[in-house]
Amino acid sequence: MSYARDFVTGGNTVGTTTGYNFTAAWEFSALIPFLPKQTAARKNFRSVDLDVAWQEWQIAMNARMAVYRVLGLNAEVSQALEATEGLQQSTDAMRKAVEAHEKTVLDLAAVESASQDSRATMLSLQQELEKQRLGLNKILGVEPDVKVALHSGLSLPSRLGPPAQHDLSDNLEWRRLDLLGLQHELESQDATVRAAILAQLPKMSAGFVKASDTTNVHTTGFIVAVDVPIFDRNQGVIANERATRQRLRDEYNQRVFEARSDIATAIADIRSLDRQIAAAEEALPVFERLVSSAEKAVEERNTDVNMKLPAAAGHFLPLATTTCFVSGRYRTPCGSWTPVTLRRRVPFLGQRLRVCR
């Protein structure tokens, strides 16, 4: 909008008046990329919302993993304490046997070494338990000195039956929140590229003109203006937006590939751990017989069998550790992998997301 006045300042001024010029114009070319920009903003909002939901989901899963790790380490520490006490009793019995000249100093040194190794393992487990407990407090947002009490009914599974790999990989892009967010971000960038292309059009404006000259002649008309781009034509902006779109597409494809690879790796590891647990369960009767023989040997004051017990326990404890950690490693609660419907709905997706619990 503009307004100008022409004052008569000299010459033949008879019958003249002051002239003016009033112009009101509007640049309507700004409406051309409006719809793509609006679409880009809407898609970007959905992408941010999904990204926040993905972060919340990861925090929840990390909290679940921390709970199972603390639960498993509690059981391991209890087993380690019991094993250490048993080895200490064996050491005391061996020391008495050496004093009675029934065993040699080398036998005592072997038992003491096993007892020290068991104690070191127990202290390491206690340190790891404290570390995991502090990590759980951090995830839950409580002070480090607060003792979080776990539900008494929690237990670790001895078996995990993973579904077929293709069942988890099919339609993966529509279940994972981060991939859904990247889809919306890619759609937002597509709209941004379209807006940049439309911005190549020259600026166009239309306006209304009302004027009067110094002879008191009044006129009314209109004006149409079109800019002619010669040098820039928005090519730099278009190239930048296209490069950003290609980067997002590559990132999306990479994440889909990594997700499917992680699924295959997790299923292979679960099956391997299941086999290790089965081997531990097969060895359990042998271990129980060793315990029974050790108890009998203690009653008969026969330390030879008692010396063999720590070695058997040393082979069995790593398998027990595997059993304790199998649930927390894969962020699954006790039980089978069952597809369920996520209770929380994402309002703009119009569909329910399926996860594995």
Q: What is the mean pLDDT of residues 200-228?
A: 87
Q: Which long-range contacts (CB under 8 A, 24 or more apart) does 316-321 make?
A: 316/280, 316/283, 316/287, 317/79, 317/80, 317/83, 317/121, 319/276, 319/277, 319/279, 319/280, 319/283, 320/76, 320/79, 320/280, 321/76
Domain count, the chain: 1
DSSP class of 334 = S
Residue 255's Cβ-side half-sphere holds a number of Cα atoms within 13 Å equal to: 16
Residue 97 lies in a domain: yes
Spatial separation of the C-alpha atoms in residues 254 and 245, rounded to whole Å: 14
296 pLDDT higher than 80: no
Q: Which of 154, 74, 65 is nearest to 321 (CA)?
A: 74
Residue 304 lies in a domain: yes
**Cα Rg of the chain (Å, integer):** 39
Residue 16 lies in a domain: no
pLDDT computed for residue 301 by the predictor: 58
319 pLDDT higher than 60: no
DSSP class of 103 = S
Q: What is the mean pLDDT of residues 292-297?
A: 71
Residue 349 lies in a domain: no
Contact at 8 Å (CB) between 156 and 71?
yes
Contact at 8 Å (CB) between 211 and 218?
yes
Residue 267 maps to which CATH number? Answer: 1.20.1600.10
Give the model confidence (pLDDT) of 9-33 as tens digits. Answer: 887 877 788 888 999 988 888 888 8
Instruction: Quickly state the pLDDT bin for 230 (edges 50, 70, 90).
Output: low
Which residues on neighbouring strands pair with residue 131, listed in sequence order?
none
| φ, ψ dihedrals at 192, nearest 5° | -65, -40
Q: What percentage of residues in the chain have a pLDDT greater than 70?
A: 81
Contact at 8 Å (CB) between 41 and 184?
no
Which residues on neighbouring strands pair with residue 220, listed in sequence order?
210
309 pLDDT higher than 80: no
Name the strand (E) or helix (H) holding 137: helix 105-140
Contact at 8 Å (CB) between 88 and 112?
no
DSSP class of 28 = G
Q: How far is CA 219 from the centre of its chain?
A: 69
Residue 261: CB atoms within 10 A of its CB come to 11
Residue 357 lies in a domain: no
Both tokens assigned to 219? 């006129």
333 pLDDT higher than 70: no
Both tokens assigned to 220? 């009314």
Instruction: Quickly state the pLDDT bin for 82 (edges 50, 70, 90).
Output: confident
Contact at 8 Å (CB) between 191 and 244?
no
Domain that includes residue 274, residue range: 32-199+234-337
pLDDT computed for residue 294 by the predictor: 67
Spatial separation of the C-alpha atoms in residues 80 and 70, rounded to whole Å: 15
Residue 222 lies in a domain: no
For residue 8, give the 3-state DSSP assignment.
coil
Q: What is the mean pLDDT of residues 225-231?
A: 75
Residue 235: CB atoms within 10 A of its CB come to 12
Spatial separation of the C-alpha atoms in residues 183 and 173, rounded to whole Å: 9
**Between 173 and 160, where is the model more confident?**
173
Residue 18 lies in a domain: no
Give the model confidence (pLDDT) of 177-188 as tens digits. Answer: 889 999 999 999
Spatial separation of the C-alpha atoms in residues 31 and 13, rounded to whole Å: 47
227 pLDDT higher than 60: yes
Residue 204 lies in a domain: no
Contact at 8 Å (CB) between 136 and 67?
yes
